[in-house]
């Protein structure tokens, strides 16, 4: 099955918004075993949309449009599809009544312009939109399907997962596709590639490798007749890759490092305090993106190196012996903050993030982590801009904390 996406909206052609809908749908279609051959973007212009539908109809079986289903004059998707099929538009009174109900719930009168969104043509089935007043259309003619969905990503994605994806699966899927993403940190893309080479060359499951801000991801995808067999193929490969990469794999699918750490700390009734120099609070900020972080995040300090020496007793001896940007200093920071706030964990982080600072050591970071069982020091060097080094420093600290937490909780 060949699919094609048409994104509709003049704001896309003016570069005022980026087309995330196309990227979302593009990532979903492979899971149904449907190949995407083209994405087209057109403005709110009926003739150009009809021309684009015409091209698409000639070369694709499934045409998915997003956008242009709103209530205003410049929303022309319904009209273009009707004209393309030469079918008359009528108003579906039951939809009008639904809209009126919806407005009533918010104590509002329905504006007249919304009636336009209840338009329908004989070949179109209505796709419900629980999040708004723009229903979708499912139009089948001559072995082709046109699926029209609204542009707001929240509405479109819900319509996709509730109705469109299951219906496409039922209609076209002779095979089921199942995918799992393994997330690694601390190894280069080349190293992960080298270690998993046989999997990268395999046909089913296939494995793709992607560099992301939180490390190198491996996406394992299998095709089979049933979901069970597809899952089995994926899980077998995932298990084997786990054997190879070990602790470098920190999570899978929608996991985040801060989410995993939050779970581990809350479950084990632990808490932490952090002190950062040069990374400007990004570690505290990342950890506290978790809504329940007040349960375990006790204290954060963003300090400069002079105050660090003064307030935390980093004396000249230790600096002379190891240097300011050293694991030893980071461990001293961790130890001090842990003692001061009596937490389960103390983390010290120093990053060299200003260009030309400290004899071109830009990108050097050191991490100290202390808990009741002992202390751990790490040193890493990352390329990139100040913001990239800050981000990488926070991820690195969370990754090392996660490893220590997992080791700890394993033993209890």
Q: DSSP letter for 116, please.
A: G
Q: In angstroms, what is the minimal distance from the CB of 373 to a copy of itself? A: 25
Q: DSSP letter for 164, please.
A: I
CB burial readout 81-93, b (16+ within 10 A) else e:
bbbbbebeeeeee
Question: Which is closer to a copy of itself, CB of 100 or CB of 305?
Answer: 305
Question: Which is closer to a copy of itself, CB of 41 or CB of 98?
Answer: 41
Q: In angstroms, what is the minimal distance from the CB of 124 to a copy of itself? A: 25
Longest dimension (CA), the chain: 86
φ and ψ of 16, to 5 deg: -75, -30
Q: How do strand 215-224 and strand 206-212 relate by DSSP bridges?
A: antiparallel
φ and ψ of 160, to 5 deg: -60, -50
Q: In angstroms, what is the minimal distance from the CB of 42 to a copy of itself? A: 6
Q: DSSP letter for 163, please.
A: I
Q: In angstroms, what is the minimal distance from the CB of 224 to a copy of itself? A: 19
Q: Tell me the C-alpha distance between 141 and 146, whole Å.
A: 8
Assess contact for 348 and 314: CB atoms under 8 A: no
Question: Which is closer to a copy of itself, CB of 123 or CB of 206?
Answer: 206
Taking the CA atoms of 22, 25, 27 and 33 in sequence, report the sign of the dihedral they define.
Answer: negative
Q: Tell me the C-alpha distance between 96 and 110, whole Å.
A: 9
228: helix, strand or coil: helix
Question: Which is closer to a copy of itself, CB of 97 or CB of 289?
Answer: 289
Q: Tell me the C-alpha distance between 235 and 238, whole Å.
A: 5
> Could you write out the DSSP letters of every residue in 61-104?
SEEEEES--SSSTT--HHHHHHHHHT---EE-HHHHHHHHHHHH
Question: Which is closer to a copy of itself, CB of 284 or CB of 325?
Answer: 284
Q: In angstroms, what is the minimal distance from the CB of 187 to a copy of itself? A: 20
Question: Which is closer to a copy of itself, CB of 304 or CB of 409?
Answer: 304
Q: In angstroms, what is the minimal distance from the CB of 284 to a copy of itself? A: 3
Q: In angstroms, what is the minimal distance from the CB of 129 to a copy of itself? A: 20
Assess contact for 22 and 155: CB atoms under 8 A: no
Q: In angstroms, what is the minimal distance from the CB of 238 to a copy of itself? A: 19
Question: Which is closer to a copy of itself, CB of 278 or CB of 368?
Answer: 278
Q: Tell me the C-alpha distance between 149 and 91, whole Å.
A: 18
Q: In angstroms, what is the minimal distance from the CB of 409 to a copy of itself? A: 24
Alpha carbon distance, N-terminus to C-terminus of the chain:
52
Question: Which is closer to a copy of itself, CB of 46 or CB of 100?
Answer: 46
**Within 10 A of 342 (CB to CB), how many other CB atoms are there?**
10
Question: Which is closer to a copy of itself, CB of 104 or CB of 210?
Answer: 210
Question: Which is closer to a copy of itself, CB of 124 or CB of 272?
Answer: 272
The footprint of a copy of itself (CB under 8 A) covers 7, 12-20, 22-30, 36-43, 45, 48, 51-52, 55, 59, 208, 210, 278-285, 287-289, 291-294, 297-304, 307, 341, 353-355, 386-387, 390
Q: In angstroms, what is the minimal distance from the CB of 322 to a copy of itself? A: 21
Rounded to 10 deg, the angle between the 77-85 and 46-59 helix axes is: 60
């Amino acid at each position: 099955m060949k699919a094609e996406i048409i994104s509709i909206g003049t704001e896309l052609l003016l570069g005022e918004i980026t087309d995330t809908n196309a990227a979302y749908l593009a990532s979903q279609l492979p899971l149904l075993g449907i190949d995407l051959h083209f994405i087209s973007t057109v403005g709110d212009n009926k003739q150009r949309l009809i021309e684009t539908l015409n091209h698409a109809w000639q070369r694709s079986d499934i045409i998915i449009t997003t956008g242009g289903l709103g209530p205003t004059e410049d929303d022309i998707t319904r009209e273009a599809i009707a004209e393309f099929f030469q079918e008359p538009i009528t108003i579906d009174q039951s939809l009008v009544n639904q809209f009126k109900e919806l407005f009533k719930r918010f104590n509002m009168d329905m504006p007249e312009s919304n009636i336009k969104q209840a338009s329908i043509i004989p070949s179109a089935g209505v796709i419900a939109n629980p999040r708004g007043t723009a229903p979708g259309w499912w139009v089948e003619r001559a072995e082709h399907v046109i699926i029209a969905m609204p542009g707001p990503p929240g509405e479109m994605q819900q319509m996709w997962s509730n109705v469109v994806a299951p219906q496409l699966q039922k209609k076209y899927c002779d095979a089921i596709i199942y995918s799992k993403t393994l997330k690694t940190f601390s190894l280069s893309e080349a190293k992960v590639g080298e270690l998993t080479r046989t999997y990268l060359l395999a046909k089913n499951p296939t494995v793709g490798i992607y560099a992301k801000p939180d490390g190198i991801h491996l996406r394992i995808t299998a095709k089979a007749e049933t979901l069970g067999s597809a899952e089995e193929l994926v899980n077998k490969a995932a298990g084997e890759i786990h054997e190879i990469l070990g602790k470098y794999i920190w999570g899978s699918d929608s996991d985040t490092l801060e989410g995993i750490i939050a779970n581990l700390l809350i479950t084990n009734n632990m808490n932490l305090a952090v002190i950062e120099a040069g990374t400007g609070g990004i570690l505290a900020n990342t950890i506290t993106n978790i809504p329940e972080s007040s349960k375990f995040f006790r204290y954060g300090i963003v300090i400069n190196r002079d105050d660090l020496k003064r307030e935390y007793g980093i004396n000249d001896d230790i600096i002379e012996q190891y240097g300011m940007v050293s694991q030893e200093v980071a461990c001293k920071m961790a130890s001090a903050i842990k003692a001061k706030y009596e937490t389960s964990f103390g983390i010290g982080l120093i990053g060299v993030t200003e260009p030309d600072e400290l004899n071109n050591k830009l990108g050097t970071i050191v991490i100290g982590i202390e808990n009741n069982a002992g202390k751990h020091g790490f040193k890493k060097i990352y390329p990139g801009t100040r913001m990239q080094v800050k981000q990488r420093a926070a991820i690195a600290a969370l990754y090392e904390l996660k490893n220590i937490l997992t080791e700890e909780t394993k033993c209890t």
